[in-house]
Amino acid sequence: MISKVLVANRGEIAIRVMRACHEAGISTVAVYSEADKDSLFVKYADEACQIGPGPARGSYLDIESILKAARKTGAQAIHPGYGFLAENPHFARSCEDSGITFIGPASRVLELVGSKTTARNIATDAGVPVVPGIEDCSDFNLCSRQIESMGYPVIIKPAEGGGGIGMQVVRSKNELKRALETSMAIAASAFGRQNLYIEKYLDRPRHIEVQILADNHGNTVHLGERECSIQRMHNKLVEEAPSPAVTPRIRSEAGQMAIDFARNIDYRGAGTVEFMYCEGRFYFLEMNPRVQVEHTVTEMVTGIDIVKEQLRVASGLPLSMRQEDVTFNGWAIECRINAEDPLNNFAPSPGKLTGYRSPGGIGIRVDSGVYNGAAITHFYHPMISKLLAWGRDRSEAITRMRRALYEYIIAGVKTNVILHKAIMENPDFVSGRLSTEFLALNNGLIEDMLRIEQRDSKATERLKGAFGN
């Protein structure tokens, strides 16, 4: 096994990776910015190196500074987590050229799946259905005619990048030109390339993804699906495994499509193949060649430590399981807890945590990178934690999540806990009627949040009293 890993990330995912390393007997190195010098992940690591100022461009996106830290500490491998440099082929190639193991797929594979248009072609070659679309948007008139033939609405997407950045839904020809120009400008600014492509916008689809693992010994397995339909601005808020829409037969079919895609590019490590699911059919969306934020719900229902499997593959070892060994037990739901105000258009709420009490009890998992007194800075995504609830079935998982959200007390910043409470009580969510338009179709959520806030205010104040504030 690799004996020392540098984690090129921060917050909860840095701690998540370090925990797996600790269990595997692997030493860890944290790299951190000036803004993160007092962060929990820095204290958790065996060693820590400051690599730059608060802004990510001068620290967590500075490839040479990260490689210098790896060489200085003798780290044999680098785990990129998610975000930042996790999908950057230049970073992976720099690791390869430096003789440092990149815990992820090869730079060649990152280049292939980093272009969504290339990934669509790979999916087609592998026999995986794709959403009808247009890959060349350079000629507006031709593009417009092709859309007329395909039919509105459509969605414009940057060919590179992710996180919903630059995506726009276009519902008529009158909106097309301006939308293309806007998406092109955003893509050029965010990803350095203005290439776009267009897909038919599906009516109320579900966003379902399949977790895969592949080693260097010819073994590729899937770990079932995750439902990720509840999103805001194409960013996921709630995930669960399994999906209430997926039967064992459909799971097997989707899993095989994900495996076929991975094998078609000789994929290694952990990855996720994402699909749109509409009217009983799967359509390839993209592949994320890294550990996902929501990998945790899959771990809860399979008992498989996905990060440990990444470490095994990077060390040249086979996966610890074959497909017939993968079993599913119960139901898991994850809520992303962010420092933002859902009653004020999700405005970020940076600040110091003046009180923090995370929930516990049977079936509850909290992956966080904070503590009482920690700072949520404006430099990075305002995620505080990932809250997970496991139950023997979906109903029990929802009930446990409601209880955990009731227990979760965070003082000093606004959070979206109140939104998650409203979602867990929403009739459409409880019945499993989900789509990527869930928030847009449930206009009463604001009133629900206000009602729940008033209902729970006394209990919240009682629990906050434990902080002595």
Cα-to-chain-centroid distance, residue 432: 21
Q: What stretches of 11-72 adopt beta strand conformation (E)?
A: 27-33, 47-52
- Looking up tokens 């461009």 gives 57
Cis check for the bond before 205: say yes or no (omega within 30 of 0).
Answer: no
CA angle 186, 383, 91 (to 5 degrees): 55
Let me know if 226 is a catalytic residue.
no
Among the options 226, 290, 365, 394, which is catalytic?
A: 290
* Residues 449/419, Cβ–Cβ less than 8 Å: yes
* Residues 240/434, Cβ–Cβ less than 8 Å: no
Q: What is the DSSP letter of 206?
A: E
- Contact residues for 121 (Cβ-Cβ < 8 A; gap 6+): none
Tokens of 40: 């929990």
HSE (CB half, 13 Å, CA atoms) of 298?
Answer: 26
Query: Which H or E run contains 276?
Result: strand 269-278
Tokens of 253: 């079919």
Residue type, 171: R
Which residues does the annotation mark as catalytic? 290
